[in-house]
Every structure is written in structure tokens, then in C-alpha cells.
Amino acid sequence: MIRVQVEIRLRKGVADPEGDNVTKALKLLGFSGVRGVHSAKRFLLDLDTKDAKAAKRDVEEMCRKLLANPVIHDYAISLVK
Amino acid sequence: MIRVQVEIRLRKGVADPEGDNVTKALKLLGFSGVRGVHSAKRFLLDLDTKDAKAAKRDVEEMCRKLLANPVIHDYAISLVK
């Protein structure tokens, strides 16, 4: 089994309302030193294969087809040891 | 400025409906080798300080007060270079 991590971030310039709201909430809680917060999503995928290269290629396709929205998202794929 | 990353995961044994649904959807799309998917959340926090230790301590407190729910979440805090 191979475990692959996918991190799905918002592209530069795309609004991040979740991050903005977390920033506001933290300031209201008294954390005045918070300049900004960026939110992202992470998936760990367990794949039934031993071929790391094929696993990465599959996950790349999963990102294109389901996990990420190419209009607003960037993603990074990495193997987990 | 210091950038701190917080990863918020579901505790072991806590149901992960998002991960389960992603697994189902990937299988429906033809990715039959997917054994399981675990979802998590990541925040990057930009803090107005130069003291890495204080920054980590602050973020620990932010997790307890706002970012994580201790009943269902585990979190990991790390500095970003």
C-alpha cells in the first residue's frame, strides 16, 4: 500500500474568505499580532499499489477529475513514508 | 514576520464522512485501487513577531481557543521557513 498526500491550496489572488474570517476571529480573541491566515485542504490517500510512480500519476488524475478545481486551486502531491 | 503552519486532523476513531465520500466518488470515477481517504485542514498563519517560541505558544493557544475542537481534532504546529 502506498500513502499519498495531496495539499489543495487556493491560487494566488483568489479570495480566501475562510482565512479572512479566521484572521478576524483571532483578532477579536485578542491575538493582535495576526497578519493573515491562509486556509488549505489536505487529503491522505491510501492506494492499493506498490508502484509509487503510477500512484502519483493516478493521484494527479484524481486531482484533475475530483479533488481540485483548476480555476481556483493549486495542488501539491507527495508520497508519505 | 513568522509563518506558522497548523495541521488539523481528525482523531483516530472519529468518523471522517468527507474522506469516506471522496473514497466513494473516486471509486465511481474508476479509481478502484483507493483503499481510503483521510481529510484534514491546514492553516498558514502570518504572525507579527520574530520570536519563534512565542509564535508557537500563541498558535497553540489559537488552536485551543478557535481552530481545533479537542473532542474530535488533533493538531500539529510547525514553523515554515
What distance in Å separates the CA atoms of residue A68 and residue A47, rounded to the nearest whole number? Answer: 18
What distance in Å separates the CA atoms of residue B48 and residue A27, rounded to the nearest whole number? Answer: 12
Q: Residue ranges of chain B with pLDDT lower than 50?
A: none
Residue at grid coordinates 479570495: A15
Residues of B in contact with A58 (CB under 8 A): 31, 33
Instruction: Give me the pLDDT at residue A28, please.
Output: 97
Question: Quick check: B61 and B4 in contact, CB under 8 A?
Answer: no
Instruction: Give me the pLDDT at residue A15, please.
Output: 97
Instruction: Give me the pLDDT at residue B13, please.
Output: 95
Q: Which residue(s) pair with B65 in the sheet?
A: none
Residues of A in contact with B64 (CB under 8 A): none
- Residue B59 cell numbers, joined: 498558535
Architecture of domain B2-22+38-80: 2-Layer Sandwich (3.30)
Q: Where are the domains of chain A?
A: 2-80
Instruction: Give me the pLDDT at residue A81, please.
Output: 78
> SS3 for A81?
coil
- Residue B76 to chain A, least CA–CA distance (Å): 13
Q: Which fold has domain A2-80?
A: Mth169; Chain: A , (3.30.1280)
pLDDT (tens digit, 9 = 90+) per residue, A32-74?
999 999 999 999 999 999 999 999 999 999 999 999 999 999 9
